[in-house]
Amino acid sequence: MATEADILKALEGLYGPGGAPLAGAVSGVNLSGAKAFVSLAGDPSQTQAWEAARVAAERAIKAAPGVEQAVVTLTAERASRPEAPQPRAQAQAQGHAHAQAHAHGAGAPPPQQKGGIPALEKIRFIVAVASGKGGVGKSTTSANLALGLAAQGWRVGLLDADVYGPSMPRLFGLTDKPKVEGGKLAPLEAYGVKIMSMGFLVDENVPMVWRGPMVSQAISQMLGEVAWGELDALVIDMPPGTGDVQLTIAQQVPLAGAVIVSTPQDLALIDARRAVSMFQKVEAPILGVIENMSYFLCPHCGGRSEIFAHGGARHDAEQMGVPFLGEAPLDIKIRQTSDAGTPVVGAEPDSPQAAVYLNLAAKVKTLLETQKQRAAPKIVVG
């Protein structure tokens, strides 16, 4: 079996775009059996040049003794780029991908390889959880929905596709590196749910920003390289927003449906509308909208306060002609359990907070089971 030193040795004689040895850019090595997962930290402003370096590194590592397969991904440090905080960097990344797409003569990203992804073939229903913008509780909802589906006897996977800011390591308190089994990454497990996150593959202390092409590639790997096995449902925590990266996932994955998470505020709702239309564009069924932080549950008196204009999501869902699945309260236990790595449905399944998600999960399950057929991925042109 190859060692980390073998990997670094394989990179000898290769140089990054800046002329520095490529071995010095290695930010993570994950080895198991004959498969090597390696990440390289590169300058996001030199995406094209780094892509060439990535390909060269992959070829060199694959040729190293004891290695049969190599997967090299690109990461970029964000901490050292204070002028480019995450949302802006993300917008730029999407802008870049967009510019590329236009260079290809289409309004959407270059068409991805069509056809089934073998790693996803034994999954009955794939559900995307999306939001028009970050911070609305999409990841919290994804995690508790996945746990809620598992609580009803389903075999469930949870894929953290939010490569800009993976949340599942924190939400489930998971720090282990996934093992490689049979040439594929074995998901980690918590409360009986199989979980995979880009956050497991890279050092958690290295904050990253992923550029458009890098993100697409990283996501393709996350979709194609994970040993999910047989599942009733795979919940995908989508990256926030509705840019090209999100569209790419929606196109590549045979989605059984999408759940849109929104807060009651108008702005979030405008964004949520964009998310709805993105899935409509790729003809993925919208299972419904969830209004998160819909009302405040006082931990002292149990009273309910409607801090924001409550009910906006229900009204909007009706206007858009998509189902309204329900609402989750702004609740301290939901936040505390999420931040403690013990999401409420897993840790306190009998609590009223868990009941909210169990109820939502039951609705999602029924909608999936009663849907006639699963949507095939569609390529959108123009």
329 close to 298: Cβ distance less than 8 angstroms: no
Token digits of residue 265: 């505020």
Rg (C-alpha) for the chain, rounded Å, is 21
Based on the shown chain and the rule CB under 6 A, indicate whether residue 157 belongs to the binding site for ligand ADP: no
263 is an interface residue for ligand ADP by CB under 6 A:
no
Q: Does 144 bind ligand ADP (CB under 6 A)?
A: no
Least CB distance to ligand ADP at residue 307 (A): 11
Residue 129 vs 322, nearer CB to ligand ADP: 129
Task: Name which position in 286, 328, 361, 367 contacts ligand ADP (CB under 6 A).
Answer: 328
Of the ranges 101-109, 112-120, 148-156, 323-331, which one interacts with ligand ADP (CB under 6 A)?
Answer: 323-331
- Told to check if 27 binds ligand ADP by CB under 6 A, we report no
* Parallel/antiparallel/unpaired status of strands 69-75 and 35-41: parallel
Rounded to the nearest whole angstrom, what is the least distance from the CB of residue 185 to ligand ADP in the complex?
22
Residues numbered 221-240 forming contacts with ligand ADP, rule: CB under 6 A:
240
Please tell me whether residue 335 binds ligand ADP under the rule CB under 6 A.
yes
> Taking the complex as a whole, how short is the minimal distance between the CB of residue 84 and ligand ADP, in angstroms?
19
Nearest-CB residue to ligand ADP?
137
Footprint of ligand ADP on residues 280-319 (CB under 6 A)? 292-293
Residue 47 vs 167, nearer CB to ligand ADP: 167
CA distance 20 to 210: 21
Hey, what amino acid is at 304? R
Q: Of 73 and 294, which CB lies nearer to ligand ADP in the complex structure? A: 294
d(CA 367, CA 34): 42
Residue from 287, 322, 330, 358 touching ligand ADP (CB under 6 A): that is: 330
For residue 144, the minimal CB distance to ligand ADP (Å) is 9
Q: Is 334 in the site for ligand ADP (CB under 6 A)?
A: yes
* By CB under 6 A, residue 338 contacts ligand ADP: yes
- Piece of 41-49, 99-107, 313-321, 331-339 that binds ligand ADP (CB under 6 A): 331-339
Q: How many CB atoms lie within 10 A of CB 306?
A: 11
**138 in contact with ligand ADP (CB under 6 A):** yes
Nearest residue (CB) to ligand ADP, 25 versus 293: 293
Residues lying near ligand ADP in the complex (CB under 6 A): 131, 134-140, 167, 240, 292-293, 328-331, 334-335, 338-339
